[in-house]
Amino acid sequence: MFTKNIIAELERRETPLYYYDLSLLRDTLQKAVDAAAPYGYHIHYALKANFNDRVLQYIQQAGIGADCVSGNEVLKAVEIGFSPDKIVFAGVGKSDKEINQALDAGIFAFNVESVQELSVISQLARAKSAKARVALRINPNVDAHTHHYITTGLDENKFGIKTWELNDCLATLKANQENIELIGIHFHVGSQITDLNVFKSLCTKVNEFNQWFDERGYRVKVLNVGGGLGVDYQEPDERPIVDFEAYFSIFDQFLPKFPGQEVHFELGRALVAQCGTLVSRVLYVKNGLKKNFLVLDAGMTELMRPALYQAYHKIERLSMDAPHGEAVKYDVVGPICESTDCFGKEVTLPVSHRGDLIAIRTAGAYGEVMASRYNLRNEIRYLYSDEIEE
């Protein structure tokens, strides 16, 4: 992935920075679109994974829709050029202002997460003499077998409508038919899911709820099954693009549709994770009796995932002219005044020195978007692959 030309350009740049491989991004998007096409599936990109303008432009140009979880994400999607009829707005805590912004934008649908929210959307739509399209986000109580911080589909999670609340939802819908149109049911069970059997279990639940609504006179148009498809953080160069064919095939096999129904997906990480790398320099090498430390100029302010989730990212040394020598185990840490500011413990790397370039891979999702100015850090810097002469 990192050619001599790329490394040479990185050597000239001030770090830390995010390097985006736009060619890989384009190839990933094309593979996803091509894999979904035979089934007529619709893909919405989850902006929360990465809302870098250049990245979003590539996604919009691929014909993919937008999945937003804040009013500002809705506005950003419209600004970039996503068609409003391909924008969905989810989120467990939508404010009145955000709902009004989305109504004014004429988005495709709100993914509603509570009975109370359904009533609020109805009231705000009525005030505008508008009709809001909604999908009910149902909590299917499916275990995603992933980190508990990014599991969203269990009864104990804050997300979604519980099954025992569905009759109240139907009553609210019936009482507000002039201002709310039910167009779908929505599900999302978690993130970084690598066991495709989880999606089989999800299909079983979606089938049950689809039948439940149909029996009550609601033939919904959209079955939105969310996203959550995981990527390979261990060996990003071996599997830079996930197996979209296998993923979509699961839903084709196990999720039958009524006539006229559509299946929608909300993919984020699977589309953008591998195209982004956080590039940093070694500031200092600290050798102790039992531990060696590489202190980088990047920290948890640039990539929060390891500190927040204890997430793994592959760490590589990029410098071309540094002596290699034997391998050494380092704790790779940042400069932030927090003990949690650590990218990896006991990471095996060639003997490293001050000034060496370090790549923290698979950082295109939930990297830049979670950056902060804590410790009054600099704004994020970028380098895009199309800026480098081959």
Q: Is residue 102 part of a domain?
A: yes
3 inside domain: no
Range(s) of the domain holding residue 378 = 274-387
Residue 318 and residue 266 share a domain: no
Phi and psi, residue 188, nearest 5°: -160, 120
CB 89 within 8 A of CB 113: no
Domain identity same for 232 and 245: yes
Alpha helices (runs of H) in the chain, residue ranges in sequence order = 4-12, 22-36, 53-61, 71-80, 96-105, 115-127, 166-175, 197-215, 244-254, 269-272, 305-309
- Whether residues 221 and 302 fall in one domain: no
What is the pLDDT, as a whole number, of residue 152? 44
Does any domain span residue 242?
Answer: yes
Same domain, 267 and 280: no
* Domain boundary pick from 271, 306, 324: 271
**119/96 Cα distance (integer angstroms):** 12
**Cα separation, 54 vs 57, whole angstroms:** 5
Report yes or no on 238 lying in a domain.
yes
CA atoms of 344 and 334, how far apart (whole Å)? 10
pLDDT for 159 equals: 80
DSSP bridge pairs for 45: 66, 267
Query: Is there a single domain that holds both residue 160 and residue 201?
Result: yes
pLDDT along the chain (390 residues), means of 10: 93 98 98 98 98 98 98 98 98 97 98 96 98 95 54 60 94 96 95 94 95 97 97 97 98 97 98 98 93 97 96 92 77 97 97 96 98 97 92
Selection from 185, 252, 254 nearest residue 218 by Cα: 185
End residue of a domain, out of 271, 298, 330 = 271
Q: Are 248 and 290 found together in one domain?
A: no
- pTM of the full structure: 0.94
Do residues 73 and 120 touch, judged by C-beta distance below 8 A?
no
- Of the three residues 225, 246, 271, the one that is the final residue of a domain is 271
Same domain, 313 and 363: yes
Quick one: tokens of 34? 């091509």
Burial of 13 (0-12, 13-18, 19+ CB in 10 A): middle
Q: Is residue 8 part of a domain?
A: no
In a domain, residue 2? The reply is no
